[in-house]
Structure 1
Amino acid sequence: MLPPGNFEVLEAKDGVEGLNFIRQEKFSLIMLDFLLPKMSGWEVFQQIQSQPELRKIPLVIMSGRKEEVTEKLPEPFEGFEFLGKPFDQKQLLGAIKAAMTKAKQPRPEPTPVATPTNNNGATATEAIATTSSADQIQALNEKIAVMQAEIDGLKKQLAQVVTFIKQKIK
């Protein structure tokens, strides 16, 4: 789908080979599938993000299941462009352009979190994780409540349809 140009495309058969290519070559763009054998796209992404020189390379993450990406990387996506599968040439070129633009924008370097302990003996990292987990649990519980209400509504509709069908059969 790429237009003719003065570039070379290298394709990796799995995440391990892809990460090795990324570390060895000077790429001007990385197209990363989120689901890969041996090492997932998520793991490759984490490796890219951990190395400042690799973080500067424009990145397009592709997946046919956006929910798997957003589960690990919440929107809005910063530092990379997401491209949902299937896609056409226009979408591909748009994603590449957007990734190039995002790569030029300044981004804070990931900073390691210090691990001082609080009065309970928990580290700051553990406290942040607990707060984050509590927030995530609350958000999930809210989603569950909404989904349960939808399920109850669907059960009611199904019961009505079954009753209607039974009446028509008689």
Structure 2
Amino acid sequence: MARSQKILVIDDSRVIQKCVRDMLPQGNFQILEAKDGIEGLNLIRQEHPNLIMLDFLLPKMSGWEVFQQIQTQSDLQTIPLVLMSGRKEEVTQKISEPFEYFAFVEKPFDKKQLIEAIKEAMRKVKSRPPTPQPAAAAATADLGSGAAADEIKALNAKVAKMQAEIDMLKKQMTQVVTFVKQKLR
């Protein structure tokens, strides 16, 4: 029997990976596992899973960074996503509620909570409006390999670099605020 449904579990905890595997109906799914964000993002691109279960706190590349990558690529936005974390407050610091395009399940979770989160993620991804192609990408496609296209590509690269720097600064600011809060207690 061919397993047509691929579920990718991106979590650095073997316990969570095993729990998810054990909670899903046997024989219906191919469970793929990644222990960090980089490995997870690579598997998303290679395997095109039918569902992504993403831990928010991961080594090498955080779940937040993987989430941001997913949100910038229209083909990845069509994959149902369940964000997992034992610290919901850290998720809501980065992404405000209500969570519009993905489901959230707080660790530890039971089978019923997992199944409900998967169903919710599937409902939410179906109701998501298609992402319009960015104007710069459309212009690049229309202009081919001309000088204007090269200039647009260079500008897009600068924007991506600046966005990465902004994200790093936000992360550092969050760490500073957390540190200050802890010291004030």
1:55 pairs with 2:73: no
Match for residue 3 of structure 1 among 16, 25, 32: 25
Tell me, in whole angstroms, the C-alpha distance in 2 between the residues paired with 1:112 and 1:67.
32
Cα distance, 1:15–1:110 mapped onto 2, change above 3 Å: farther
Q: Is the 8 A contact 2:83 2:102 kept in 1?
A: yes
Aligned partner of residue 90 in structure 1, secondary structure? helix
Post-superposition shift, 1:110? 7.3
Cα distance, 1:40–1:110 mapped onto 2, change above 3 Å: farther
Opposite residue 43 of structure 2, the aligned amino acid is: F
In the other structure, the counterpart of 1:126 is: none
Tell me, in whole angstroms, the C-alpha distance in 1 between the residues paired with 2:103 and 2:135.
26
Greater C-alpha radius of gyration: 1
Tell me, in whole angstroms, the C-alpha distance in 1 between the residues paired with 2:84 and 2:132.
23
- Where in structure 2 are the equivalents of 1:1-170 lying within 5 Å? 1-107=23-129, 109=131
Aligned partner of residue 11 in structure 1, secondary structure? strand
Q: Is the 8 A contact 2:55 2:85 kept in 1?
A: yes
Opposite residue 23 of structure 1, the aligned amino acid is: R
Tell me, in whole angstroms, the C-alpha distance in 1 between the residues paired with 2:73 and 2:123.
20
Post-superposition shift, 1:51? 0.3
Q: Is the 8 A contact 1:79 1:107 kept in 2?
A: no
Q: Is the deviation greater in 21-30 or in 102-111?
A: 102-111
Q: Is the 8 A contact 1:34 1:41 kept in 2?
A: yes
**Superposition misfits of 4+ residues, deviation over 4 angstroms:** 110-114
Post-superposition shift, 1:113? 9.9
Tell me, in whole angstroms, the C-alpha distance in 1 between the residues paired with 2:27 and 2:94.
34
Post-superposition shift, 1:26? 1.8
Cα distance, 1:110–1:41 mapped onto 2, change above 3 Å: farther
- Seq. identity, %: 70
Tell me, in whole angstroms, the C-alpha distance in 1 between the residues paired with 2:123 and 2:27.
19
Aligned partner of residue 8 in structure 1, secondary structure? strand
Q: Give the number of aligned pairs.
A: 118
Aligned partner of residue 38 in structure 1, secondary structure? coil
Q: TM-score, normalised on structure 2?
A: 0.59
Aligned partner of residue 98 in structure 1, secondary structure? helix
Tell me, in whole angstroms, the C-alpha distance in 2 between the residues paired with 1:35 and 1:65.
9
Tell me, in whole angstroms, the C-alpha distance in 1 between the residues paired with 2:133 and 2:80.
21
Q: Deviations over 1:57-97 (max 9, x none)?
A: 00000000000000000000011000001100000000000
Post-superposition shift, 1:18? 0.2
Q: Looking at secondary structure, tell me which structure has more strand per residue.
A: 2
